[in-house]
Amino acid sequence: MLETIATERRVAVAREYVARVFNGRDPELARKYFTEDITFHALTVGTLSGIDAVVPVLASLIGALSDIQAEVQDVIASDDLVALRQVVKARHTGDLLGMPATGNPIQWDAVDIYRVNDEGKMVSMSAHWEVERTMATLRKPE
């Protein structure tokens, strides 16, 4: 019974993080959810270590994508891991990974995996996005 309660709490932390940080467009609020030594894994930026390395990347992403909305489709959780499958929609209105704004609407599928400790803080996060299709959508026609 204790494991179920702990897992439910971890899921609530992950859902709240998505709602408040991404959908709420408040990357600085991520500091409330992360440990100081968080590890962030993503294909687009590699592996980052530490809260002061991760938050600016989130700020850049959120800042480049107006109206960003991540809609959770599925949740899988076990022990200290929480995986969220999401559909993310936004408009590309700022520089994103060196790509100038196109103004285009974009959408991609994402699977984010969070390791949440007993204090309700994320110690690691892995972001797996459908990068190729997203980047192709952002390219302006020649």
Per-residue pLDDT reduced to its tens digit, 32-61: 999 999 999 987 778 999 999 999 999 999
Mean pLDDT of the chain: 88
Hey, what amino acid is at 101? A
Could you state, in order of their start, the residue ranges of all structural domains in the chain? 2-138
- Return the CATH number of 2-138, one of 3.30.70.1140, 3.40.228.10, 1.25.50.20, 3.10.450.50: 3.10.450.50
| HSE of 92, CA atoms in CB hemisphere, 13 A | 21
Taking CA atoms, 86 is separated from 50, 52, 74, in Å, by 25, 25, 7
Give me the pLDDT at residue 71, please: 97
Taking CA atoms, 39 is separated from 42, 54, 132, 141, in Å, by 10, 8, 24, 36
Per-residue pLDDT reduced to its tens digit, 65-95: 999 999 999 999 999 999 999 999 999 999 9
Instruction: Tell me what percent of the residues of the chain surpass a pLDDT of 90.
Output: 72
Quote the distance between the C-alpha of residue 57 and its chain's center.
10
Give me the pLDDT at residue 141, please: 46
For residues 99 and 82, the answer to whether their CB atoms sit within 8 Å is: no
